[in-house]
Amino acid sequence: MEEKATKVYWKGLDELSNSPEFVKHAHNEFGQPPAPEDDLGHSRRDFLKMMGFGVAAVSLAACEAPVRKAIPYVDKPLDVDPSLPNYYASTYTNGGDYCSIVVKVREGRPIKVDGNKLSGVTKGGTSAQVEASVLSLYDNSRLRAPRVGETKSASWEVLDQMVIDKLGAIRVSNGKIAIVSNTVLSPSTKAIIEKFKAKYPTTEHIQYDQVSMYGMLKANEESFGKAMIPSYDFSKANIIVSVAADFLCTWLSPIEFTKQYAQTREVSEEKRDMSRHYHFEAGMTLTGANADHRIQIKPSEEGAVVVQLYNLLAAKAGRSSVAGGIDKPFLAKAADELWENRGKSLVVAGSNDKAVQVVVNAINDMLGNYGSTILPHIPVNYRQGNDEAMINFINDADAGNVAGVIFYNCNPVYDHPMGEKLAGALKKVGLKISTAYKEDETGVECEYLAPDHHYLEAWNDAEPKKNHYSVAQPAISPIFKTRAAQESFLIWAGETNVDYYEILIDNWKTWFFKGGNLRAWWDKCLYDGVLELPVESSSVSFAGNVESAANTIASVKSNGIELFVYENGTVGNGSQANNPLLQELPDPITKAVWEHYVTVSPADAKEINFSEAKTKYASITANGKTVKLPVLVQPGQTPGTIGIPLGYGRTRAGKVADGIGVNAYPFASVVNGSWSFVATGATMQMLDERYWLATTQTNQTYMKRATVIQETVLSEFKNDPGAGRYRPKVATWKDPNHKVEPGKLSMWKGHDYKNHHWGMAIDLNTCIGCGACVVACNVENNVHLVGRQEVINRREMHWLRIDRYYSTNADVHDLKGLEKAAENPEVVFQPMLCQHCNNAPCETVCPVAATTHSTEGLNQMTYNRCIGTRYCANNCPYKVRRFNWFKYHDNRQFEQVNPAMNTSLGKMVLNPDVTVRSRGVMEKCSFCVQRIQQGKLQAKKEKRPLKDGEIITACQAACSTGAIVFGDVNDPESRISKLLQISPADENRPYGIDKKTGNPRAYQVLEEVGVKPNIWYLTKVRNKEEVKA
Amino acid sequence: MQVVSAIREPLITGTKTLKDVSHDISRQVEGKPTRLWWMAFGVSLALLSWGAYCCWMLLWHGIGVWGLNKTVGWAWDITNFVWWVGIGHAGTLISAILLLFRQRWRMSINRAAEAMTIFAVICAASFPGFHMGRLWLGFYWALPLPNTFGSLWVNFNSPLLWDVFAISTYFTVSLVFWYMGLIPDFAVIRDRAVVQGNKIRALAYNALSFGWQGGAKTWMRYESVALILAGLSTPLVLSVHTIVSFDFATSVIPGWHTTIFPPYFVAGAIFSGFAMVLTLLLVTRKVFKLEQYITVYHIELMNIIIIITGSIVGIAYITELFISWYSRVPYEGYAFYNRVQGPYAWAYWSMMTCNVISPQLFWIKKIRTSIVATFVLSIIVNIGMWFERFVIIVTSIHRDYIPSSWTMFYPTMYDVGQYIFTFGIFFTAFFLFAKFFPVINMAEVKSILKSTSEKK
């Protein structure tokens, strides 16, 4: 309805007058001018709006548990099938440590690292550190973005501009620039550093190694005219003499050597021979523990032992002897055997003293080992560090002569003996950049942090040995705003093509591509992960001066206690110290976890009653530095020596490692131009301050229980491959003179496994006790890490453990004396896991049937059903069951020690196929049942029978020595059946639980208990003449 | 006037009449609680609250608050469980077996002993409950209840399941038996309340007595039921601890896997049960002035049972040692060597001293009729019996087959707290019982006032 406005009403005089001010605001409901924009006080309306939204949001959120990051794929990536893993060949490098790997990726997340069998270098082997490295990817202490100065984060553009400006200024002023790194294995990275150098000609690239082998490089330079380290082939050596070279655990390339060494240690009915290994050392190392004869020496005697060996051999070779030498047990015998095995022997020394290595070279030369067990034509690149260059750099920086320094993925402030001096010197350096992926001890001294990717996020390549190339491909796109260090170098050098991936392919194309289909060739390189080209063989001639070396050695003086610092088998040099998998991996020898200690011989620690790992502190002074550490009494350690592991005392590694122990690098000193990790004239004072070490094993011997460990010596094994076997028999009530095997007596009728019957064989002779399997098991099965206090409470959760036993000299009836290890004990390692007993004592006692037997011989745990009475664990004769005493996941209390189950970043590493166990339930080894299921399903899908070797457990996959064999003992063609020579115990029941083994070495632990395990162990054979009393 | 036989010692002294009995016993229930009672009850409540805090911590954080570890999966929890179950044996033994054997001296002590049994079994049952990793599920998963989980059923092979049945049956029967006996006495208190004009008490005790009228037929039925229940309880006395011992005997662990466990455990249970009855009655008789009902003669008889059962236990210990040597099984041998000489030797020798040597003192009449000596020794026996269970459980598993896994067990505050919790339950319940229930079976005691048929 239209109404004609006849009358005009007005709201006020303003409207009547229609002033411009009125017109401007006429559309507003209220006449007042609106509040200016910068008025921060929100209006009542805003307040109501926000409150309304807030209330609605909160109440909506409360209606439903929040769904966290469970976003389905809208467009499924081509290669990602939910629940199916992808595998990518890649390369692990950490400084000069190298391993060719296969990365298991689930839904875009790397969750497991395995060895790459296609590699001619590592041949599928891994180490504990390689296995653990996948968790370092999800380290909470990683840098999330580049950083400039004190700011929390900066953009790469800002950082690059500032760095380029400063570098330019340095170039103009002709200042010195240093790129400091550990050994760089990557040829492409080296090429990029060269490009950087071309742009900034005053740049020097300095490589150093945490545990240097510079002395060896120099010795080889003197001996053969080339500063290199040759390849070694332990597999061809019948006699191995090692003077303090821990080649199975830390020395040069342990993964490679472990594999070779194991080949020489394998024995069977057919092959009744094995290598003999003499080992001279001060502290007990993994290699020493595996030796046939371990001779205690002091670190200062290493040179003299080598000289003595030289003289003994020189007498046979008709060469003149040199001055010096010291007689030690077994040296003459070792010399005799070396001489008999010329060309099939190997002498190695761990010393970083050029003089010692020259004499070792002379010995190997005299024995004709070059060309057979030592391959000088295939030099290795693992250790390229130049001690002198690094020392010069630090001194230069201290003198104010260095204008800029780039720390390329290294941390010398922590892990160089002169780190403290370097930290001070850096204050005088104008431009300091670190590319490390976290703000470490060196990073805090740097103004610019340009974090590199984790190795699993990055393209890279490596040349571990001459003509052996390896490619690293990213298994995940970078989690944080990190950038390949190579790209950083190129950007700072002002290059236009900065894509490292393209450069890498270009390089490989230029260097290795011989024509054909480039794409196919590159794909094959990526698929294989390695590219190995033939190496021309060449011979070397020894030209070293043994006499002068001997004189240098003779001048070594020793006084007081000798302190040596060493890498242990867990955190090693400390670069991965923030990895809780390594912190909680028991040291292969001491079995300590989360601990830093000083190892002392029992003779020197008489005042400490080292029971239950309860000990006292000692104060140690050497090289003008005093530290306080708890004492670990180490059988086998040479009296008068003390050892401190490297890798602890981190201050900026992250929550996991910070504050554990002290930094032992400063105890090293320069001897003959290279770092010596021995300090003589040390003093140690026991303090009256108690300390409780966290160790996973406190009883050191196996109490001469023949049913646990069965061992023999080679001389007896040659006559009877069943030597050392303990065959228990029990008398029956029917006829006391008729004794039967305990397995024959049973209340149960047994059952039949109609399909598969899973079993495992573990060779005690090839198991070296390294612990790679333990870490692999932890990662595969989401095993909780529990931290130091819980280990002191003896509650580590490891499903697989390595029992380490020392021999004892006590009589078998001296039950108290049996607990005491011998002064220089023999060592045996026994991997212990759920034995999957056919008559499992755990199964009968569970009131709710939460642990039951599968139709394939597996003893399986149903976590959901478990009510946690722990009766099963009590009744387990092997003590392999682990109880969840607390909620170890999603619990702030364990966040620090178990980030993989307590932080959202860490949880990315979890294996989605394995339940994370909650509080109050029992758990144990499942024989990797998820892998068994996966393998069976695959075969079923392809409508074919399962093939042997398709299913391998995580521990087996990780074992470099092949000591663990898993398979179907129902299948007569399987590897395990053949190895153990399995046949049914009862011909009428081919699928029955009782299986007979024809392998005379095969035994079952605690056979007489009658639980009928599905794991067999093969006896340990030591290559020595007599069984130790 | 009480009639006293010339040849038989009277069971109740002090020439009590029927009325005296009613009065002496009911007086405790009718009167106001004494200061002593309040103090004792207060201490019990304090123990209970402290224990409840420890329980709460256990439930909130997990079993890890205890000192258990990968090797020693049971320690104080099951030690305390077996200890309490053992203590819970005396009551039923006194009321059932001694009833069948017509041991009339039992009549003064059976009520308190049965109450003690009930409370001890409650305490005992709390441990298998609290020691479970997931108590909230264990409550019903350990019972063979029909469920919606498909064919999921309990494992009838497991001795722990047998425990569930054994303990619950024993508890049920003991509770019924005990309550049955209380009914006529509640009626006495009700009747007295009616006379005294205390309506609330009359109402309450009338309800408790199920309106007992005391007709001849009722009495006849009462006695038949008592006899039936006694017959039912008798095998239970033997079976409960036999089954508890199966927890260990059926295992494969050296030191546990022992065929003599059932009789050995039963003897030990009666041994500790009688000791606990003595401890409690000596206090009750003093506090409630019941010296004429619980006489030195009673105490002496109980001490004789302690000598017998203590000696059986001693023989069992020695047999175990002998067999461990005679069997030539190295693990068995080591398990016992380790008990005698290992790190827990102090526990073993405490056990030996308390259980084997100290009860032998009762051969001396002066000691076995001494109230003070009996009181001290009764406590020593229970300390010894606690150590016996600790020795069996912990020293066997802390060093069994695989030497790499050998550990020590160190109790924490919460291990102790859980034990204190059960003391809290026990004494709180016992003091409530002593205040509100007639502590001596009036009906039965009245039947033994006359020790001769002589009329007077």
Instruction: Specify if A818 maps to a domain.
Output: yes
Specify whether A651 is located in the same domain as A784.
no
Specify whether A898 is located in the same domain as A1002.
yes
Specify whether A991 is located in the same domain as A847.
yes
Give the model's pLDDT for residue A70: 59
Q: Between the CA atoms of B363, B368, B370 and B375, what dihedral angle is there, to the nearest 10 degrees?
A: 120
- Reported confidence tier of residue A22, pLDDT bands at 50, 70, 90: low
What is the DSSP code (8-state) at residue A321? Answer: P
Reference A535, options A379, A382, A381, A383; nearest CA is A379
Instruction: Specify if A469 maps to a domain.
Output: no
Contact list, B67 vs chain A (CB under 8 Å): 793
Closest CB to B157 among A804, A844, A877 = A844
Last residue of a domain, one of A692, A725, A754: A692
Give the model's pLDDT for residue A33: 52
Give the model's pLDDT for residue B7: 64
Contact list, A921 vs chain B (CB under 8 Å): 133-134
Contact list, B155 vs chain A (CB under 8 Å): 844, 846-849
Give the model's pLDDT for residue A26: 63
- Asked whether the beta carbons of residue B74 and residue A870 sit closer than 8 angstroms, the reply is yes
Instruction: Specify if A656 maps to a domain.
Output: yes
Q: How far is A771 from chain B (nearest CA, A)?
A: 16
Q: Are A961 and A951 in contact (CB under 8 A)?
A: no
Give the model's pLDDT for residue A672: 87
Instruction: Specify if A436 maps to a domain.
Output: no
Q: How far is A718 from chain B (nearest CA, A)?
A: 29
- The two most distant CA atoms of chain A are separated, in Å, by 137
Is it the case that residue A41 has pLDDT exceeding 80? Answer: no
Q: Are A414 and A648 in contact (CB under 8 A)?
A: no
Give the model's pLDDT for residue A63: 52
End-to-end CA distance of chain A: 120
| Chain A residue at shortest CA distance from B336 | A815
Q: How far is A640 from chain B (nearest CA, A)?
A: 28
Is it the case that residue B352 has pLDDT exceeding 50? Answer: yes
Q: What is the mean pLDDT of chain B?
A: 91
SS3 A750: coil
Q: Report how many helices (DSSP H) and strands (DSSP E) chain B contains, helices first.
A: 19, 0
Classify burial at B377, counting beta carbons within 10 Å of its beta carbon; exposed 0-12, middle 13-18, buried 19 or more: buried
Which of residues 988 through 1007 in chain A touch B, CB cutoff 8 A?
1005-1006
- Asked whether the beta carbons of residue A869 and residue B159 sit closer than 8 angstroms, the reply is no
Last residue of a domain, one of A356, A380, A404: A380
Is it the case that residue A802 has pLDDT exceeding 90? Answer: yes
Specify whether A740 is located in the same domain as A785.
yes
Give the model's pLDDT for residue A40: 53
Specify whether A808 is located in the same domain as A882.
yes
Question: Is any Cβ of chain B less than 8 angstroms from the Cβ of A869?
Answer: yes
Interface test with A, best of B66, B82, B151, B401 (most A CBs within 10 A): B401
The DSSP secondary structure of A7-56, one letter per residue, reads S---SSHHHHHT-HHHHHHTTSSSSSPPPPTT--SPPHHHHHHHHHHHHH
Question: Is any Cβ of chain A less than 8 angstroms from the Cβ of B340?
Answer: no
Is it the case that residue B75 has pLDDT exceeding 70? Answer: yes
CATH number at residue A967: 3.30.70.20
What is the DSSP code (8-state) at residue B392? Answer: I
Each as own residue / partner, the long-range contacts of residues B187-195 (CB below 8 Å, 24 or more positions apart, any chain) are: B187/B212, B187/B213, B187/B214, B188/B22, B188/B26, B188/B438, B188/B442, B188/B443, B189/B26, B189/B29, B189/B30, B189/B438, B192/B22, B192/B26, B192/B30, B193/B30
Specify whether A348 is located in the same domain as A268.
yes
Which of residues 874 through 903 in chain A touch B, CB cutoff 8 A?
874-875, 877-879, 881-887
Is it the case that residue A580 has pLDDT exceeding 60? Answer: yes
Q: What is the mean pLDDT of chain A?
A: 92
Q: How far is A879 from chain B (nearest CA, A)?
A: 6
- Asked whether the beta carbons of residue A886 and residue B69 sit closer than 8 angstroms, the reply is no
Specify whether A734 is located in the same domain as A881.
yes
Is it the case that residue B258 has pLDDT exceeding 80? Answer: yes
Share of chain A above pLDDT 90, in %: 85
| Chain B residue at shortest CA distance from A709 | B402
Contact list, B252 vs chain A (CB under 8 Å): 841, 875, 877, 1009, 1011
| Chain A residue at shortest CA distance from B75 | A874
Question: Is any Cβ of chain B less than 8 angstroms from the Cβ of A849?
Answer: yes
CATH number at residue A338: 3.40.228.10
Q: Does the predicted model carry a pTM greater than 0.80?
A: yes
Give the model's pLDDT for residue B147: 80
Element (H, E) at A328: none
Specify whether A704 is located in the same domain as A587.
no
Give the model's pLDDT for residue B456: 46
Give the model's pLDDT for residue A312: 96
Q: What ipTM was reported for this prediction?
A: 0.94
Q: What is the pLDDT of residues B7-58, one digit of tens each?
A: 666 777 777 788 888 888 888 889 899 898 999 999 999 999 999 999 999 9
Is it the case that residue A58 has pLDDT exceeding 70? Answer: no
Reference A587, options A742, A796, A429, A400; nearest CA is A796
Specify whether A814 is located in the same domain as A922.
yes
Is it the case that residue A241 has pLDDT exceeding 90? Answer: yes
Q: How far is A1018 from chain B (nearest CA, A)?
A: 17
Question: Is any Cβ of chain B less than 8 angstroms from the Cβ of A526?
Answer: no
Give the model's pLDDT for residue A730: 85
CATH number at residue A686: 2.40.40.20
Contact list, B405 vs chain A (CB under 8 Å): 697, 879
Instruction: Specify if A368 maps to a domain.
Output: yes
Is it the case that residue A198 has pLDDT exceeding 80? Answer: yes
Last residue of a domain, one of A380, A397, A414: A380
Is it the case that residue A285 has pLDDT exceeding 70? Answer: yes
Give the model's pLDDT for residue B413: 96
Give the model's pLDDT for residue B8: 66
Instruction: Specify if A197 maps to a domain.
Output: no
Question: Is any Cβ of chain B less than 8 angstroms from the Cβ of A702?
Answer: yes
Q: Are A185 and A460 in contact (CB under 8 A)?
A: no
**Chain A, chain B: beta-carbon pairs less than 8 Å apart:** 169
CA A54 from centroid of its chain's CA atoms: 49
Average pLDDT over residues A632-648: 96
Number of domains in chain A: 3
The number of CA neighbours under 13 Å toward the Cβ of A929 is 17
Specify whether A634 is located in the same domain as A737.
no
The two three-digit tokens of residue B215, written as one number: 């007709």
Specify whether A964 is located in the same domain as A915.
yes
- Asked whether the beta carbons of residue A873 and residue B405 sit closer than 8 angstroms, the reply is no
- Domain interval for residue A965: 8-25+700-1022
End-to-end CA distance of chain B: 8
Instruction: Specify if A94 maps to a domain.
Output: no
Question: Is any Cβ of chain B less than 8 angstroms from the Cβ of A698?
Answer: yes
Listed ranges A44-53, A736-745, B252-261; the one with the highest mean pLDDT: B252-261
Instruction: Specify if A449 maps to a domain.
Output: no
Give the model's pLDDT for residue A80: 82
Element (H, E) at A350: none
- Reported confidence tier of residue B367, pLDDT bands at 50, 70, 90: very high
Average pLDDT over residues A601-624: 93
Q: What is the pLDDT of residues B372-415, one digit of tens each?
A: 999 999 999 999 999 999 999 999 999 999 999 999 999 999 99
Average pLDDT over residues B239-243: 93
Residues A508 and A776: their CA atoms lie apart, in Å, by 32
Is it the case that residue A4 has pLDDT exceeding 90? Answer: no
Q: Are B163 and B247 in contact (CB under 8 A)?
A: yes
Specify whether A810 is located in the same domain as A947.
yes
Average pLDDT over residues A84-101: 95
Residues A244 and A67: their CA atoms lie apart, in Å, by 56
Share of chain A above pLDDT 70, in %: 94
Closest CB to A887 among B62, B158, B334 = B62
Is it the case that residue A62 has pLDDT exceeding 60? Answer: no
- Asked whether the beta carbons of residue B160 and residue A845 sit closer than 8 angstroms, the reply is yes
